[in-house]
C-alpha cells in the first residue's frame, strides 16, 4: 500500500502540449505539496495545499495549475509546456505543515522535447 | 529569504567510517528536515528536528538553533548509505507551509 503515489512515473511530450500529473495520498494528511527538482538535483517548492486550499504559490508561472478535488488528491496540470519545464516533479504530504514528517511520492520525470 | 548551505557537496568514505554532513541556514526557523534521496530517485525523510538531537539506528541528527546549524552523522557507514542527503528548513518568513532546501550532499561509501 503506497502512502503517496504519483502517475505517470515518466512523461515525454512535445513543446506546447498540455499534460497532467496526478498525486494521491492515503495517509489522511491535511497538507499536500508539489516540488520541482531540476537537472542539478535542486529541490524547490511549487505549491502547498492545506485541506484543498492553496496556501503557497511559490512564483510558479500561470501555466502550472494545481487542483485539489479533495484533501487526498493534488493534481498538477501544465499548459503550453516549455523545454525548461523538464524536471522531476515530486508530490508530498504531511499531517499539518512542515513541522511534521514529509512523505514523498516516487516522482514524475517530465521530459519536454 | 532563507539561505541553506550544506557541506561538503561531495563526500567519499570507506566502509566503516564515521560521516558528518553539515547544514547552515541564515534565518531563524521552526523546524529542520534531513532527507535521503536514493540513486533510484526516491526521497525519504530521515529526521525532523526543532531542537536537540535525534537518533535512529546508525543515524544521528543534531541542531543548534542559536548557531543556525545542524549536523547529520552516520556511524559505521555502509555502501548502502550511498545517497544524496538533503537539508531543508521551514518556518522562516512566517510560513508554516514552505520548505527551503539545501543543494544536497552526495555521499559515496566504498566497500
* Residue among B4, B102, B71, B6 nearest A37 (CA): B102
The better pLDDT of the pair B27, B62 is held by B62
- For testing contact with chain B, the best of A98, A99, A103 (most B CBs within 10 A): A98
Residues of B in contact with A30 (CB under 8 A): none
The model's pLDDT over A27-81, given as tens digits with 9 standing for 90+, comes to 999 999 999 999 888 999 999 888 888 887 777 899 999 999 998 999 999 999 9
A97 touches chain B (CB under 8 A): yes
Residue B83: pLDDT over 80: yes
**Number of C-beta neighbours around residue A28 at 10 A:** 9
Q: Is the pLDDT of residue B33 over 90?
A: yes
Q: Is pLDDT above 80 for B1?
A: no
How many residue pairs bridge chain A and chain B with CB atoms within 8 Å of each other?
A: 71
Residue of chain B minimizing CA distance to A6: B42
The answer to whether residue A25 neighbours chain B at the CB level (below 8 Å) is no
B45 interaction partners in chain A (CB closer than 8 Å): 101-104
Cα separation of A100 and B29, whole Å? 14
Q: Is the pLDDT of residue A12 over 80?
A: yes
Nearest to B43 among A99, A100, A104 (CB): A104
Would you state the pLDDT for residue B95? 65
CB spacing of B103 vs A104 below 8 angstroms? no
Instruction: From chain A, pick out residues whose CB is under 8 angstroms from the CB of B30.
Output: 98-99
Of A43, A45, A101, the C-alpha closest to B45 is A101
A28 touches chain B (CB under 8 A): no
- Check: CB of residue A21 under 8 Å from CB of residue A7: yes
* B-chain residues near A44 (CB < 8 A): 101
Residue B82 pLDDT > 80, yes or no? yes
Note the pLDDT of residue B111: 95
Q: Is the pLDDT of residue B93 over 90?
A: no
Q: Output the 3-class SS for chain A.
A: CCCEEEECCEEEECCCCCEEEEEEECCCCCEEEEEEECCCCCEEEEEEEECCEEEEECCCCCCEEEEEEECCEEEEEECCCCHHHCEEEEEEEECCCCCCCCEECCCEEEEEC
**CA neighbours closer than 13 Å in the CB half-sphere of residue B68:** 15
Task: Return the residue matching grid coordinates 566502509.
Answer: B15
Mean pLDDT value across residues B100-104:
93
pLDDT at B9 over 80: yes
Give the residue from chain A lying closest to B105, CA to CA. Answer: A41
* pLDDT of A1: 65
Decide: residue B89, CB within 10 A, 0-12 exposed, 13-18 middle, 19+ buried. buried
Is residue A82's pLDDT more than 70?
Answer: yes
Question: Inter-chain contact B42–A103, Cβ cutoff 8 Å?
Answer: no
Q: What percent of chain B has pLDDT over 90?
A: 75
Separation of alpha carbons A22 and A9, rounded Å:
10
Query: Is the peptide bond prior to B8 cis by the omega test (within 30 degrees of 0)?
Result: yes
Cell 542539478 -> residue: A40
Q: Please, what is the average pLDDT of chain B? A: 91
Average pLDDT value for residue range B9-34: 93
Amino acid at each position: 500500500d503506497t502512502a503517496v503515489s504519483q502517475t505517470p512515473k515518466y512523461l515525454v511530450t512535445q513543446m506546447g502540449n498540455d499534460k497532467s500529473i496526478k498525486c494521491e495520498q492515503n495517509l489522511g494528511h491535511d497538507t499536500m505539496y508539489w516540488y520541482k527538482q531540476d537537472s542539478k538535483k535542486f529541490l524547490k517548492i511549487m505549491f502547498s495545499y492545506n485541506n484543498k486550499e492553496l496556501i503557497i504559490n511559490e512564483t510558479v508561472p500561470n501555466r502550472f495549475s494545481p487542483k485539489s478535488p479533495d484533501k487526498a488528491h493534488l493534481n498538477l496540470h501544465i499548459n503550453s509546456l516549455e523545454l525548461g519545464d523538464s524536471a522531476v516533479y515530486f508530490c508530498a504530504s504531511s499531517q499539518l505543515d512542515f513541522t511534521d514528517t514529509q512523505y514523498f511520492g516516487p516522482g514524475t520525470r517530465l521530459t519536454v522535447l | 529569504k532563507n539561505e541553506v548551505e550544506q557541506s561538503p557537496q561531495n563526500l567519499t568514505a570507506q566502509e566503516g567510517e564515521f560521516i558528518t554532513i553539515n547544514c547552515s541556514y541564515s534565518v531563524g526557523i521552526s523546524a529542520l528536515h534531513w532527507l535521503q534521496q536514493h540513486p533510484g530517485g526516491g526521497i525519504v525523510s530521515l529526521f525532523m528536528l526543532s531542537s536537540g538531537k535525534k537518533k535512529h539506528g546508525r543515524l544521528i541528527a543534531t541542531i543548534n538553533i542559536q548557531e543556525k546549524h545542524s549536523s547529520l552523522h552516520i556511524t559505521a557507514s555502509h555502501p548502502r548509505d550511498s545517497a544524496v542527503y538533503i537539508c531543508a528548513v521551514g518556518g522562516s518568513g512566517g510560513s508554516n507551509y514552505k520548505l527551503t532546501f539545501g543543494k544536497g550532499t552526495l555521499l559515496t561509501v566504498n566497500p
